């Protein structure tokens, strides 16, 4: 299934749980910062905002619904972007904790990682040598830890969110994740159109070579035909190259400080809006238009913001 002809859905993931506060002064931490980042991204053309929360004092990833509520309500009051709540949280959290915000706020869209996997963040310790406290422990822990989403976990998330009409940004970090999605499609536990977010460049998942991107797209085409909407994100330096390749292949894109702290080589992005503006400029230079939130809702068959508990 395609977006309207020549239109691209931009998703912006504004803070995430990969990077830590010492890595960039521009990483949103507090509810006000997250809300401002989301609204700024939406004003630059992001139709979907992918959201995590953080402890406002330490910057640690935190799935407490009370930390989500202020920025969800603030964003909703200021713009019409689709709000997408993570069920991934971080690899240090239990599945029950990760699910709490989506169950409470019943969003139009929630992220869903398609498998248990190594999720190596520890190589960043070589680039950020002065990290201490929880930041160093968090990154080092990914060397022996892993992100858990067993088949039972995925089934639970699908079942628990289904009655609320929440649909999913299905995050696929490797080819096998596409086959896992196909398994749940066959069991009729998830309905089309499937919003497949192919993720490139995380240690433990598929790489970011152009052949990797092609392989993901070809496999998804074969498995899902016209029943899915394809988007990509590239981690770190892969962000803009992978987004550009996706656009040339008729796909959609995701940017944001969750996925990359950078605007270009050696230059930190000063805001999420700056990354959205950069990818929008690239897309428009290719003769493509940017999908509005209303067009994204129509393409993904979302229930509408008035049907959420935000």
Residues sharing a CB contact under 8 Å with residue 227, sequence separation 6 or more, in sequence order: 1, 192, 193, 194
pLDDT-derived band at 5, boundaries 50, 70, 90:
low
pTM of the model: 0.97
Helix (H) or strand (E) holding 267: strand 267-268
Integer Cα distance of 41 and 81 in angstroms: 9
Quick check: 42 and 285 in contact, CB under 8 A? no
Domains of the chain: 7-307 (3.20.20.70)
Could you tell me whether strands 262-264 and 228-234 are parallel, antiparallel, or unpaired per DSSP bridges? unpaired
Integer Cα distance of 46 and 256 in angstroms: 10
What would the two tokens of residue 192 be? 């089309």
Place of tokens 């088949």: 151
Integer Cα distance of 34 and 72 in angstroms: 9
Average pLDDT over residues 180-204: 98
With a pLDDT cut of 70, the percent of the chain lying above it is 98
pLDDT in tens, 47-92: 999 999 999 999 999 999 999 999 999 999 999 999 999 999 999 9
- Burial (CB < 10 A; 0-12, 13-18, 19+), residue 70, is middle
Backbone angles phi, psi at 304, to 5 degrees: 105, 145
CA 161-172-39 angle, 5° bins:
65
């Amino acid at each position: 299934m395609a977006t309207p002809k020549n239109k691209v859905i931009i998703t912006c993931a504004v803070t995430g749980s990969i990077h830590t506060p010492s890595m960039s002064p521009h990483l949103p931490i507090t509810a006000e910062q997250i809300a401002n980042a989301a609204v700024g991204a939406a004003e630059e053309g992001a139709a979907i905002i992918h959201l995590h929360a953080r402890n406002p004092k330490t910057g640690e990833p935190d799935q407490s619904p009370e930390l989500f509520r202020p920025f969800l309500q603030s964003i909703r009051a200021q713009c019409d972007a689709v709000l997408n709540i993570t069920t991934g949280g971080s690899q240090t959290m239990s599945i029950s904790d990760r699910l709490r915000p989506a169950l409470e706020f019943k969003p139009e869209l929630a992220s869903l990682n398609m498998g248990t996997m190594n999720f190596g963040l520890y190589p960043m310790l070589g680039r950020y040598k002065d990290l201490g406290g929880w930041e160093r422990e968090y990154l080092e822990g990914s060397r022996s830890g892993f992100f858990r989403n067993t088949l039972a976990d995925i089934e639970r998330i699908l079942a628990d969110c289904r009655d609320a009409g929440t649909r999913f940004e299905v995050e696929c970090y490797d080819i096998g994740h596409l086959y896992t999605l196909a398994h749940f499609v066959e069991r009729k536990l998830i309905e089309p159109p499937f919003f497949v977010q192919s993720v490139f460049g995380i240690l433990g998942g598929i790489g970011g070579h152009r052949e990797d991107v092609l392989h993901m797209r070809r496999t998804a085409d074969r498995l899902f035909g016209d029943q899915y909407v394809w988007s990509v994100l590239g981690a770190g330096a892969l962000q803009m190259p992978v987004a550009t390749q996706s656009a040339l292949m008729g796909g959609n894109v995701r940017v944001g400080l969750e996925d990359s702290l950078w605007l270009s080589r050696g230059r930190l992005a000063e805001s999420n809006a700056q990354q959205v503006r950069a990818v929008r400029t690239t897309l428009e230079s290719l003769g493509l238009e940017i999908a509005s939130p209303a067009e994204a809702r129509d393409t993904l068959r979302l229930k509408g913001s008035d049907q959420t508990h935000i």
